[in-house]
Chains A and B, each alone.
Chain A
Amino acid sequence: MGKPALQGIKIADFSWVGAGPRATKDLGDHGATVVKIESSKRVDLTRLTSPFKDGKFNVNSSGFFVHQNSSKYSATLNLQHPKGIEIAKRFVAWSDVVLENYGYGFMERMGLSYNDLMKVKPDIIMVSISIGGRTGPLANFRGYGNAAAALSGHAELTGWPDRSPLIPPITFGDIITPLFAVIAVLAAVEYKNRTGKGQYIDISQLETMVQFIAPAYLDYFANGRKQTRIGNRSPRAVPHGAFPCKEENSWCTIVVADNNEWQSFCEAIGREDLLSDPRFTTFADRKTHEDELEKIVANWTKTNTKEMVLDKLKKAGIEAYPVQNAKELLEDPQFIEREVFLKLHHPVIGSCNHQSPPMKLSKTPPDVRPAPCLGEHNYYVYTELLGMSQEEFVELLNKGVFE
């Protein structure tokens, strides 16, 4: 079994909450040395986010924190302490990459701007993540997790045509942007290995999210069309949506892509009569009468259990799947087989799910380690990684530098 690929890459992770921490997790899982620099005076908000083990608040037992912070070392550092910045700069000197997602101007006020960091280490790679980027009209904007999905157009494109835009219940911006941060870090490391140069990278959540819905923007620029929400429909298939089954709050998605599938579908649901119905003959016809068609489909699904719907349609080669909830997902055989989550032993929580990195590499698999407790690795990080003497460590500890 091979070793993780990124061993030797050193990352000083100043990020906290939102789009930052998730980025360094992937790097740590694949072998990079990630030191999460935290402070008990300013705890990462995700450590304060429920649910907690047994419902009892503890900065070390947030399930939400665990999922985003595997494979990292945790060192606490009080940046406000007179000696705090000096120690921060020792992290910079040690690291290849510094990552942060503080509010606008924070790093500069601390004396940790890119220019300051370059004086410590000329080839440092610094990655900043923010909602609108570090320059521009939104540079000092602070929003809640779903600000990015609202700003990007994602919310506008999600929902029913006759209702308001929908903010996805998952903070999608904090899912997408970390991926671009990982890409930025790895590409910058590659660039540095080739040229010897570091760089400052400014990642805007808004800009990365717009990339994911670019076709809608091209439709505006090329055609003047302002795309908006279309529920579950798709220009590429009809029917295309989620339909109610007999059981309460039980749904199946059904996708019928072309005339061949339409024929199989009508036969499967015992409605061969629809094949000679002029409202539904061609794809275009079915699109024109999609409202009525969806009612017909729903009337059929409503009289069948979810299992019957899936069984009948699968046998006919129609793409049909159940809408699963979290419990069903955790029991899903594909989910289990792919080890999307790993049960690891966490020192405070005990055995709990950690996310597996989603990319499976045949020769250099990841090594996922449990999320750290607050300041868990102070001694190791300061004496082994930063090379502090025992005496200095104890002295600084007593002065409160590591709070």
Chain B
Amino acid sequence: MSRMNHTPKAIVNEEAHEGRRIANRNEEVYSMLNSLRVLDLTDEKGFLCGKILAELGADVIKVERPGGDPSRMIGPFFHDEVDPEKSLYWFAYNSSKRGITLNIEAEKGRELFKRLVYAADVVIESFPPGYLEGLGLGYRELSSLNPRIIITSITPFGHTGPRKDYKASDISIMALSGVMSVTGDSDRSPLRFGLDQSYCLVSTHAVIGILIALHHNRISGEGQHIDVSAFDSLCLANFWETIKWEYEKRIVNRSGDRMGRGMGTTRQVWKCKDGYLTWVILGGKEEMKIFITMIEIMDKEEMAGNLKSVEWEKVHISRIPDDEMSRYEEVIAAFFMKHTKNELEQLSLKYNLRLSIINDIVDNAEGETLAFREYWTDVDYPELSTAIKSPSHLFLSNEVKTQVRFRAPRIGEHNNEIFEKELGLSRQEMSDLKRIGIL
């Protein structure tokens, strides 16, 4: 359901707004990393890393095997047409990168790769540990060629440890990290998060590693090897559970849409007229004020029921037994059911109720918040005769743009630009190399 009909009072911070207008007027798009050259050999475990670097201004070149990477077959697909040039997953995570094909397993391909590394600042890869070393393209060889080079390895478990050679999908990482064991309902299996969150996490950690290494490189002139692991990254996200064990020897059970509180649990996901929202009754002085305000609002609509008769200022929420809490929750649930997501969001903003709508995809795609921030931008896909709206920025700045620049690359799209124009290969050499499967 579109929420475009409602016009909320938009809060405008004039400085940041003005900054955006200024940045848009600049002829030259200032970017933060504009002289960095990155060679990106990742699969889906590492796509987001190169995209973030590209949208910070780096020149990122996706290096695929001839014929294109298998990860181009990850859906969903444009108009559900299964095609390596129509993967929306590929489009989403590889925007702002150029693309070449190169067979690095062949000697001639390795030679060309080394020439590219010689002139590059960063290499990102997600091969199994040892694969690149086996080809003579490990950190030792590449850094002797180019001491500045920063090699970033993105893998499920890292380059060290008993599981380093194991393969693992996102759900396996979720399982091992402890995140799954506390996610889901008590009467069903543990759940993973939607899409591949561990891959996105480790890719973002890789960006941080690269920027740290870059800082060192600027001072010392030397590069280094960075090792990030999806497992390590996701374990860090789960730290609260490990603290409960370390300090209280407590293991938390899955409680679905209820949140732990003191003696029991409290509801956190509620249904409303046209969807869902999250809101929690917590203990504490400030939280009690919010709860009392909510009851007053409900009372205006004569829906406060049994909540009116309690002196909430004197109550400790954490000490209310579950069955009593349930009766209060029923009253609140009935109130929410009478209202739409839009109405409840406005109430929350007006009275500071700390209530969040659980947005579905359409809410964010069409809603005012992201539209106001110009978050959705048309990215052109001339080969598909269309433009597809995509996230435009990582964050806003008054000085630079962190911007999606162009669509994800087609297979070998920039072979000529890179191999011919930059490396000086002739047309004949290019077609010979293509014929023997190097390009």
Contacts and interface: CB of A to CB of B under 8 A. Distances in A.
B422 interface: no
A106 interface: no
B191 A231 contact: yes
A183 B276 contact: no
A244 B189 contact: yes
Interface in A353-373: 353, 355, 358-364
Contacts of B224: 361-364
B216 interface: yes
A51 B16 contact: no
Contacts of B145: none
B246 A352 contact: yes
A113 B52 CA distance: 28
A330 B245 contact: yes
B211 A235 contact: no
Given A218-B88, A364-B224, A55 B364 contact: no
A85 interface: no
A147 B356 contact: yes
Contacts of B268: 146, 167
Interface stretch (A13-21, A191-199, A263-271): A191-199
A398 interface: no
A62 B395 CA distance: 32
Interface stretch (B103-111, B127-135, B175-183, B300-308): B175-183
Contacts of A144: 278, 280, 282, 354, 356
Interface string A202-229: 1110111011111111111111011111
Contacts of A155: 269, 276, 278, 358
B15 to A, nearest CB: 6
Given A132-B369, A153-B361, A358-B229, A326 B11 contact: no
A360 B158 contact: yes
Contacts of A200: 15-16, 19, 397-399
A88 to B, nearest CB: 19
Most chain A CB within 10 A, of B174, B255, B394, B398, is at: B394
Contact of B369 (A26, A114, A137): A137
Interface in A220-246: 220-223, 225-232, 234-237, 240-244
The secondary-structure label for the interface of chain A is mixed
Interface in B238-252: 238-248, 250-252
Given A183-B211, A321-B176, A355-B239, A137 B368 contact: yes
A255 B176 CA distance: 14
Contacts of A51: 243-244, 247-248, 250
Contacts of A253: 171-172, 174-175, 180
A135 interface: yes
B278 A146 contact: yes
A112 interface: no
A275 interface: no
Given A143-B356, A355-B236, A133 B208 contact: no
A12 interface: no
A309 B256 CA distance: 26
A321 B232 contact: no
Nearest to A349: B247
B360 interface: yes
A180 B32 CA distance: 14
A102 interface: no
Interface stretch (B162-170, B320-328, B429-437): B162-170
A191 B176 CA distance: 39
A156 B8 contact: no
B194 A359 contact: no
B41 interface: no
Most chain A CB within 10 A, of B12, B250, B400, is at: B400
A150 B358 contact: yes
Contacts of A230: 194
B96 interface: no
The secondary-structure label for the interface of chain B is mixed
A5 B212 contact: yes
A9 to B, nearest CB: 8
Most chain B CB within 10 A, of A104, A115, A242, is at: A242
Given A190-B211, A358-B205, A359-B205, A323 B181 contact: yes
B215 A189 contact: yes
B365 A217 contact: yes
Interface stretch (B74-82, B112-120, B309-317, B413-421): B74-82
B363 to A, nearest CB: 8
Contacts of B172: 253, 255, 319, 321
A352 B358 CA distance: 36
A353 B229 contact: no
Interface stretch (A34-42, A76-84, A157-165, A374-382): A157-165
Given A51-B243, A114-B15, A219-B76, A227 B236 contact: no
B93 interface: yes
B111 to A, nearest CB: 25
B211 A325 contact: no
Most chain B CB within 10 A, of A180, A225, A252, A361, is at: A361
B103 to A, nearest CB: 23
A51 B243 CA distance: 7
A158 B182 CA distance: 13
Contacts of A104: 11
Interface string A123-161: 000000000111111111111101100111111111110
Interface in B1-46: 8-13, 15-17, 19, 30, 32-33
A170 B248 contact: no
B160 interface: yes
Interface string B359-399: 11111110011101101100000000010111101111111
Shortest 5 CB-CB contacts between residues of A and residues of B: A157-B194, A359-B209, A199-B399, A51-B247, A186-B211
7 contacts: A114-B398, A158-B193, A179-B208, A223-B79, A226-B360, A322-B175, A340-B235
Given A207-B395, A358-B229, 10 more contacts: A156-B194, A156-B361, A159-B184, A180-B395, A212-B195, A226-B362, A240-B169, A329-B235, A341-B242, A364-B216
